[in-house]
């Protein structure tokens, strides 16, 4: 149902078009992408075991494990995402100075698989919700950039609110 893949060393590119994920979410941009969409698990450090979802193309650093559905199970991504998120994966981390979680540990976790009819209904509803969440995150990012662009001009008086 699911396969795991470790992220790779990627050089961030501020001008890149694709999100670059680290162990706790987006850490920058990259000029290329590795995955169409998927579930990103923090592999190393304080955020070891954190679970993120990307609805769009992305790259992932070596501090991550990517969970991808096996061929033919793509529609199960929402179920897999919420299942991994609620397993509290951080509890399976080893190492004290630099905690980490491995693919072998992830592969041994038992997961309840509901009937296919339930899975289809759940995934059709939650897939749309995940898509909307992704859209709102991007919109938030654009609003933040706009604010950062306008704020200095407004504070200095170089920009007049009535003309904006």
Question: How far is residue 35's CA from residue 157's CA, in Å, rounded to a whole number?
Answer: 45
The helix or strand, by DSSP H or E, that contains position 41, with its residue range, turns out to be: strand 38-42
The arithmetic mean of pLDDT across residues 60-66, rounded, is 95
Per-residue pLDDT at 66 exceeds 70: yes
Per-residue pLDDT at 164 exceeds 70: no
Cβ–Cβ under 8 Å, residues 106 and 90? no
Query: Residue 158: which domain range?
Result: 2-163
Count of domains observed in the chain: 1
Which pTM does this prediction carry? 0.82
**Mode of pairing for the β-strands spanning 51-54 and 38-42:** antiparallel
Dihedral angle at the C-alpha atoms of 135, 10, 105, 55, nearest 10 degrees?
Answer: 10
Per-residue pLDDT at 37 exceeds 70: yes
Give the residue carrying structure tokens 């407004």: 154
pLDDT band at 105 (very low <50, low <70, confident <90, very high): very high
pLDDT, residue 10, reads 87
CATH of the domain at 104: 3.90.220.20
């Amino acid at each position: 149902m699911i396969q795991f893949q470790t992220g790779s060393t990627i050089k961030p590119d501020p001008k890149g078009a694709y999100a670059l994920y680290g162990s706790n979410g987006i850490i920058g941009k990259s000029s290329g992408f590795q995955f169409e969409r998927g579930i990103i698990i923090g592999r190393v450090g304080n955020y070891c075991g954190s679970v993120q979802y990307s609805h769009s193309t992305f790259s992932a650093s070596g501090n991550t494990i990517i969970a991808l559905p096996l061929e033919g199970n793509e529609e199960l991504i929402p179920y897999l995402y919420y299942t991994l998120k609620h397993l509290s994966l951080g509890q399976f981390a080893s190492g004290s100075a630099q905690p980490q979680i491995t693919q072998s540990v992830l592969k041994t976790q038992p997961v309840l698989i509901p009937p296919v009819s339930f899975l289809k209904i759940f995934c059709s509803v939650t897939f749309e919700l995940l898509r909307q969440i992704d859209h709102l995150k991007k919109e938030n990012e654009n609003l933040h950039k706009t604010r950062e662009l306008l704020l200095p001009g407004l504070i200095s008086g170089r920009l007049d609110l009535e003309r904006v």
